Amino acid sequence: MNDELMIWLLTPPLPYYWEAGRADFRAGDRHPNRKHFGLFDLLIVVNGALHIGENGKEWSLGAGDTLLLLPEGEHYSVKPCEQETSFFWVHFEHEVWRQNPPIAQPEATVPSSPFDNPKLIGIPKHSALPNPQIAFDLMRQLLELPIGEAFWEKQHLLFQLLALLENGRSGMTSTPATRLAEKAAAYLQRNYQEEVTNETLALALHFHPNYIVRCMKMKYGVTPIHYLLQFRMERAKQLLISTEWSIDRIAEEVGFRYSPYFSTCFKRSVGMTPLHFRKKYLN
């Protein structure tokens, strides 16, 4: 049975992948305790039982259970594992989110979005996956990718995981329109360094550009060009905090021919210049 609480993510911006792994606990091992971790921590239990609490609420997670731990507050081990327990974990970042029951009106509790058609993604705080093998397969694909590389593939797999959780909550099934939107998103992630237009996307996917735009807005709440821009901005953030590259080089790396235009787009999207963003993070 799903937990009564939901985590609502307002997109864009898009959830941003950081790292993932698999933990294999023996009897007596505990999940680490953390305060104000700063990232979402998605747990997917493969076997055994994991006992974990967050901000005064406790769960005992069995095989196929998921739990989304928040970037704020404190999460901690309730008691040691009584048996061998394995689980996958994924750390990701998202800037605009709220936690509340699904009966509430989330639109009234989240900040307004700078985009014309923002989308609220509802992720169960705790859920029992109806078909956990799908999530396990996605996680194995994610962990097989090389560390420090395959950025867009990792992002796409994160989106698939979150979509699996959201769709499992609502009972939605995949439709041709959602599959096309996912194909368009994957294409944009693979080719974000290139000059992509609605027309080039239509040629690549063999669908009319207006139909692709409608499918992307239905699935992700943004047009393909807005999706591409947001993806480039997230990639730029990663490069700003993980490298000493110049702004000119980062602009070129994420698909901008002119560095001043990149800086303008970055400030409009993030609220500060690339240099200020880098200094703020380092400080």
In this prediction, residue 231 carries a pLDDT of 87
- Burial call 77-107: b when 16+ CB within 10 Å, e when fewer: eeeebeeebebbbbbbbbebbbbbeeeeebe
CB 224 within 8 A of CB 216: yes
CB 53 within 8 A of CB 75: yes
The full set of domains in the chain, from first to last, is 6-154 (2.60.120.10), 176-282 (1.10.10.60)
Give the C-alpha separation, 85 to 165, whole Å: 22
State the pTM of this model.
Answer: 0.60
Q: Which residues contact 32 (CB under 8 A, 6 or more apart)?
A: 77
Give per-10-residue mean pLDDT for the chain (283 aa). Answer: 68 86 91 89 93 89 92 90 92 84 43 57 86 86 85 88 76 69 87 92 93 87 89 88 91 93 92 90 73
In this prediction, residue 1 carries a pLDDT of 39
At residue 195, the 3 state secondary structure works out as coil
In this prediction, residue 261 carries a pLDDT of 94
In this prediction, residue 70 carries a pLDDT of 92
